[in-house]
């Protein structure tokens, strides 16, 4: 089966996930190694995968041992190709994604950064003592690509700490070509900020385990001519018809910081009410965590961007199967049996989620096909996430019932 989705005028359409972590990053599965990744990426349907953690000495050696090529690397004749990628944290706790064109540039960047970290190898995602302007300068000197990671998440997103890209990246803000949306935002939300309209939006998984449940749970479909770093650069710069043509990922409501919510008693808040209460819970006195949606509303200066590629909200097939059959554990045998049937028939998961006609999916499993159809038509609803708790998918036809804190103006006598 040919994995390329479309070949016309020599263009290839590929699925890419450009942000993952290695087994050397905190909280990551020790199965995160290239041979496992290559196998699982094929089952998922990913043709281009970020390596994660490419500045970490042990992981860099593992990559050099396993990957062959130049710019975009192959492993042992496998379908999935790799690009050198890492995530770093700057002094202000902001996370950034870096893509590099070669092992020699990775060595070069490592060398430059050694003096800005107590220990560059303490974690796959190194902590640096410099800020956004300095790190972007170093990456551009190494001919890499650079942009904010999960830009809107509280704690580690650029917009959690700054009101504009310029505030964080200074004179290099105009050279940044992409922004990673993260699990709590989609193009529709992010395009409410007009300074982002020129950027390529990436929907990546930030996966901590190599299996199709996590790998490419968000992914990008892009148009390139061949597997080279130059082509990837053109995609990010939207040059010569190379570009991202589709973003796929979670409903933003699923993210654990989507709505503003008390971290203690989990009460939901509307932005105006949380502000009036100075972000202290009116129910229990706890801290209200500002949700991604409200943060974007605060920064919003326009309605949207009609030029943006389509965004399809979709979940991993395992999760869809479990929801369709109301099975509580994702790792149950009955879930994997159905998953395997689909993969055996259609080759990979992304094809099942996005490309294969519903009538064909119905022949494998009617119920699951009905859910996939509902995702494709954007008919899925859920209980939104917030306060550090993920959102929850609802069965078809169900609407979420959530209550927001009711703010009452206190009468004078109460003071």
Q: State the nearest-atom distance from the C-beta of 94 to Zn ion, in Å.
A: 9
Residue among 27 and 397 whose Cβ is closer to Zn ion? 27
Angstrom distance (rounded) from CA 54 to CA 21: 9
Angstrom distance (rounded) from CA 412 to CA 173: 49
Quick one: 61 exposed, middle or buried, by C-beta within 10 A (0-12, 13-18, 19+)? exposed
Q: Which of 241, 284, 297, 402 binds Zn ion (CB under 5 A)?
A: 284
Residue among 160 and 320 whose Cβ is closer to Zn ion? 160
Q: Which of 99, 109, 262, 354 binds Zn ion (CB under 5 A)?
A: 262
Phi, psi at residue 219, to the nearest 5°? -150, 170
Q: State the nearest-atom distance from the C-beta of 287 to Zn ion, in Å.
A: 8
Residue range at the interface with Zn ion (CB under 5 A); choices 113-121, 274-282, 301-309, 393-401: 274-282
300 binds Zn ion (CB under 5 A): no
Residue among 52 and 71 whose Cβ is closer to Zn ion? 52
Distances 194 to 191, 198, 290, 327 between C-alpha atoms, Å = 6, 8, 21, 42
Tell me the per-residue interface mask from 344 to 363 with Zn ion, x by CB under 5 A, - otherwise: --------------------
Q: Are 132 and 94 in contact (CB under 8 A)?
A: yes
Residue among 17 and 349 whose Cβ is closer to Zn ion? 17
**Burial state string for 290-319 with b = 16 or more CB within 10 A and e = fewer than 16:** bbbbbbbeebeeeeebeebeebbbbbbbbb
Three-point CA angle 226, 227, 232, nearest 5°: 95
286 binds Zn ion (CB under 5 A): yes
List binders of Zn ion among 131-190 (CB under 5 A).
149
Quick one: 278 exposed, middle or buried, by C-beta within 10 A (0-12, 13-18, 19+)? exposed
Q: Which of 106, 139, 281, 338 binds Zn ion (CB under 5 A)?
A: 281
Phi, psi at residue 324, to the nearest 5°? -60, -35
Neighbours of 30 (CB within 10 A): 10
Q: Which of 19, 21, 81, 95 binds Zn ion (CB under 5 A)?
A: 95
Q: Which of 4, 122, 265, 302 binds Zn ion (CB under 5 A)?
A: 265
Q: State the nearest-atom distance from the C-beta of 184 to Zn ion, in Å.
A: 12
Q: How many residues bind Zn ion (CB under 5 A)?
A: 10
Residue among 228 and 283 whose Cβ is closer to Zn ion? 283
Residue range at the interface with Zn ion (CB under 5 A); choices 13-21, 91-99, 185-193, 234-242: 91-99
Quick one: 267 exposed, middle or buried, by C-beta within 10 A (0-12, 13-18, 19+)? buried
List residues binding Zn ion (CB under 5 A).
Answer: 95, 149, 262, 264-265, 267, 281, 283-284, 286
């Amino acid at each position: 089966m040919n994995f390329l989705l479309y070949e016309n005028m020599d263009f290839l359409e590929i699925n890419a996930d450009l942000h993952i972590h290695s087994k050397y990053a905190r909280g990551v599965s020790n199965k995160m190694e290239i041979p496992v990744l290559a196998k699982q990426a094929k089952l998922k349907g990913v043709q281009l995968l970020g390596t994660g953690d490419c500045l970490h000495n042990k992981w860099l050696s593992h990559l050099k041992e396993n990957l062959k090529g130049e710019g975009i690397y192959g492993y042992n004749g496998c379908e999935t190709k790799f690009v050198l990628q890492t995530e770093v944290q700057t002094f202000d706790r902001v996370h950034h994604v870096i893509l590099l064109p070669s092992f020699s540039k990775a060595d070069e960047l490592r060398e430059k950064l050694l003096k800005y970290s107590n220990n560059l190898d303490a974690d796959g995602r190194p902590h640096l003592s410099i800020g956004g302007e300095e790190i972007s300068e170093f990456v551009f000197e190494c001919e890499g690509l650079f942009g904010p990671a999960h830009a809107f998440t509280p704690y580690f997103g650029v917009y959690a700490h700054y009101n504009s890209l310029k505030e964080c990246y200074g004179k290099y803000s105009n050279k940044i070509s992409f922004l990673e949306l993260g699990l709590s935002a989609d193009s529709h939300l992010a395009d409410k900020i007009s300074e982002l309209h020129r950027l390529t939006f990436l929907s990546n998984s930030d996966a901590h385990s190599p299996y199709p449940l996590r790998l490419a749970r968000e992914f990008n479909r892009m148009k390139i001519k061949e597997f080279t770093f130059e082509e990837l650069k053109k995609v990010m710069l939207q040059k010569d018809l190379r570009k991202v043509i589709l973003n796929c990922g979670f409903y933003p409501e699923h993210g654990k910081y989507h709505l503003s919510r008390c971290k203690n008693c989990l009460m939901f808040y509307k932005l105006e009410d949380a502000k009036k209460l100075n972000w202290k819970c009116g129910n229990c006195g706890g801290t209200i965590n500002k949700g991604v949606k409200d943060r974007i509303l605060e920064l919003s200066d326009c309605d949207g961007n009609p030029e943006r590629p389509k965004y399809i909200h979709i979940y991993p097939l395992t999760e869809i199967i479990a929801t369709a059959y109301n099975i509580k554990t994702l790792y149950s045998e009955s879930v994997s049996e159905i998953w395997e049937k689909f993969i055996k028939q259609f080759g990979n998961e992304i094809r099942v989620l996005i490309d294969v006609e519903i009538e064909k999916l119905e022949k494998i499993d009617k119920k699951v096909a009905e859910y996939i159809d509902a995702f494709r038509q954007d008919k899925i609803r859920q209980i939104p996430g917030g306060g550090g708790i993920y959102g929850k998918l609802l069965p078809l036809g169900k609407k979420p019932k959530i209550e927001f804190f009711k703010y009452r103006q206190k009468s004078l006598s109460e003071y």
